[in-house]
Amino acid sequence: MTDQMDVLRRNYLPVELMPCLEATGFAGTIAVQARQMLEETSWLLELAKCYNFIKGVVGWVDLRSDSVREQLEQFAGDPTLVGVRHVIHDEPEDDFMLRSEFQRGLGLLAEFGLTYDLLLFPRHLPGAVKLVAGLPDQPFVLDHLAKPGIRESGMLPWGEHLRQLAEFPNVYCKLSGLVTEGKWKHWQAGDFRRYLDVAIEAFGTDRVMIGSDWPVCTLSANYVATMNIVVDYVQQFPNSMREKILGANCARFYGIKSPAPLSDYE
């Protein structure tokens, strides 16, 4: 973490997120892992027991481990665990996700009813296409549109590879992580429009979902401004499509029941 990321060098806890949800009218959130450690998965699940606006947890298990089944059995009994993620874009090898031991562990997730979040850079998209092609029954969601080069106005080959990934019906896409790929704190909403256009064209309105990437988004924008990029963008669509993108698709993908009002939090 560089000096530019000083704002993240403190604890961010659910009590800080709650007023952000209230300000934007969202009734719940999915907590997604950031560290490659089983202790964090346990901690996120405990937080979900204390704050019922945490509707699901995407945790971490070591998919490469010979004991991955035991790790999954340890956590999968908790209905709040809805998926797994690995920070693939920080791995030194671009083909990390294609390792046989990683794919073996990933192949167990469907048995436990768990989704998988793909956290990638654009250069990883061809590998992701190969990965999902071999696991047609595993639900995947691409985080942050694979972080396209918005700062440099880059579209290719990102757009072509995104469309290739979207051809697989078991893959969804999160409309998130945009503000940190643009010019930090100097972006305009129009900077992101053509990237959102490509995502909607590729995945349709049934397989995309809004996301905040909070608190990482605070490097470039607050929660409300971040969410409003997508909220404002989807105003062009009929209400039924807006509802899907702003919540229903996420609930369906992660298997979340209709969210309770924020006033019911514990």
Q: Residue 266's pLDDT is what? A: 32
Q: Residue 69's pLDDT is what? A: 98
User: What string of DSSP letters covers 147-210?
Assistant: ---TTTT--TTHHHHHHHHHTSTTEEEEE---TTTS-TT---GGGGHHHHHHHHHHH-SSSEEE
Residues with pLDDT less than 70, the chain:
258-266
| DSSP structural state of residue 99 | -
Q: Residue 258's pLDDT is what? A: 60
CATH 1.10.1060.10 applies to domain 86-257 = no
Q: What global pTM score does this model have?
A: 0.95
